[in-house]
């Protein structure tokens, strides 16, 4: 309130109350009320500014910075997660699937091909077997188009090798020691002895350190694995409705060989999880 306004107010009050004795300083009281109002407004403004600054500071400290966070109820923007984080998550998910697959018995059927058409030649007809990891029991049998076969058996850790010829001659040998899995190396010509076709070894490879894992859709994982002797496996894993491995299809390349085309394709199909596995102990020649 300005001095001019004070003078006008004083004069007006004098005119209105002429002849009346006034015991209260009305003008002074009015001015004091106005000053108190002004002071309260100023204090309130100062407190509001300080409070707002405090609230902003608390918000920054709580969020660790001023970066915007995700809107509640709205999913993260696609691609916001780093590639390394995505691969790590896929690796963890596939490892869980593999662990579930190895926790019980299963049947397996393996086929080999020189190219993706499925043709490899007349020497190899396929590989079938069953494994029970809990009891260290199972078998893998490879048959040939000519009628012969080669088989490995594992009975509570005891390992047996068997060979059968087309004319019906059978020979079994017991390998001393106690084993937890087979080390089946299929007889496929120039590749024989280089790559194990044991399903347990293949499943273990999917969990090994350094394996590159990515998830291509809800039930498929892509993998790249490097094995000793400069051998690589690149392929895909299909997961079944029971969240266990259903099929593994991959390309094997032996980089250390001098072959013109040192690669072939292998397919493993898994089934009958939890079914009993019974293996007869053979009569050996040793």
Q: Residue 196's domain is classified under what CATH number?
A: 2.50.20
Overall average pLDDT of the 161-189 stretch: 86
Residue where the block lists tokens 């969990």: 207
* Residues 253, 179 share a domain: yes
User: For 219-246, what is each residue's pLDDT tens digit?
Assistant: 999 999 988 778 889 999 999 999 999 9
Instruction: Please check whether residues 146 and 40 belong to one and the same domain.
Output: no
What is the C-alpha to C-alpha distance for residues 108 and 189, in angstroms, rounded to an integer? 22
Q: Dig out the tokens for 60 from the structure.
A: 């920054």
Given 13, 32, 63, the domain boundary residue is 63
Is residue 283 in a domain?
no
Alpha carbon distances (Å) from 277 to 19, 104, 180, 252:
122, 10, 15, 29
Whether 282 is in a domain gets the answer no
- Phi/psi for 133 (5° steps) reads -60, -35
Q: What is the pLDDT of residue 228?
A: 77
Per-residue pLDDT for 101 more than 90?
Answer: yes
User: Which pLDDT belongs to residue 96?
Assistant: 96
Q: Within a domain: residue 68?
A: no
Does residue 78 form part of some domain?
A: no
CA distance 106 to 275: 7
12 pLDDT above the threshold of 60:
no
Domain that holds residue 105: 83-271
Give the mean model confidence (pLDDT) for residues 251-267.
Answer: 78
Cβ neighbours around 141 below 10 Å, total:
17
33 and 90 in a common domain: no
Residue 105 is assigned to a structural domain of this protein: yes
> What is the sign, positive or negative, of the torsion defined by CA atoms of 235, 266, 233, 239?
positive
Domain annotation covers residue 169: yes
285 inside domain: no
Same domain, 44 and 89: no
Judgement on whether residues 135 and 202 belong to the same structural domain of the protein: yes
**DSSP H or E stretch at residue 14:** helix 3-16
Banded pLDDT at 214 (limits 50, 70, 90):
very high
- Please, which residues have CB within 8 angstroms of residue 52's CB and are 6 or more apart in sequence? none
In this prediction the pTM is 0.65
Residue 286 confidence (pLDDT) above 90: no
pLDDT at 270 over 70: yes
Q: How many domains in the chain?
A: 2
- 98 in a structural domain: yes
Which tens digits make up the pLDDT trace of 23-54? 444 444 444 544 544 444 443 433 343 343 34
């Amino acid at each position: 309130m300005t001095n001019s306004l004070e003078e006008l107010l004083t004069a007006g009050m004098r005119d209105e109350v002429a002849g009346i004795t006034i015991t209260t300083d009305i003008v002074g009281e009015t001015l004091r009320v106005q000053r108190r109002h002004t002071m309260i407004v100023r204090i309130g403004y100062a407190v509001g500014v300080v409070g707002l600054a405090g609230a902003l500071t608390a918000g920054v400290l709580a969020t660790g910075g001023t970066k915007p966070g995700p809107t509640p109820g709205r999913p993260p923007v696609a691609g916001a997660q780093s590639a390394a984080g995505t691969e790590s998550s896929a690796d963890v998910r596939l490892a869980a699937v593999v662990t579930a697959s190895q926790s019980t018995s299963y049947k397996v059927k393996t086929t080999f091909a020189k190219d993706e058409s499925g043709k490899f030649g007349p020497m190899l007809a396929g590989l079938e077997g069953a494994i029970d990891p809990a009891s260290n029991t199972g078998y893998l049998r490879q048959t040939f188009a000519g009628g012969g076969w080669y088989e490995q058996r594992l009975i509570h850790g005891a390992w047996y090798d068997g060979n059968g010829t087309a004319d019906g001659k059978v020979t079994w040998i017991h390998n001393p020691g106690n084993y937890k899995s087979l080390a089946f190396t299929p007889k496929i010509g120039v590749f024989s002895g280089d790559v194990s076709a044991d399903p347990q070894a293949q499943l273990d490879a999917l969990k090994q350190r350094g394996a590159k894992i990515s998830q291509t859709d809800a039930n498929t994982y892509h993998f790249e694995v490097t094995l000793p002797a400069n051998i690589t496996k690149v392929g895909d894993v299909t997961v079944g409705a029971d969240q266990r491995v259903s099929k593994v299809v991959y390309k094997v390349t032996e980089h250390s060989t001098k072959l013109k085309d040192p690669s072939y394709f292998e397919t493993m199909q898994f089934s009958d999880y939890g079914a009993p596995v019974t293996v007869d102990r053979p009569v050996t020649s040793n």
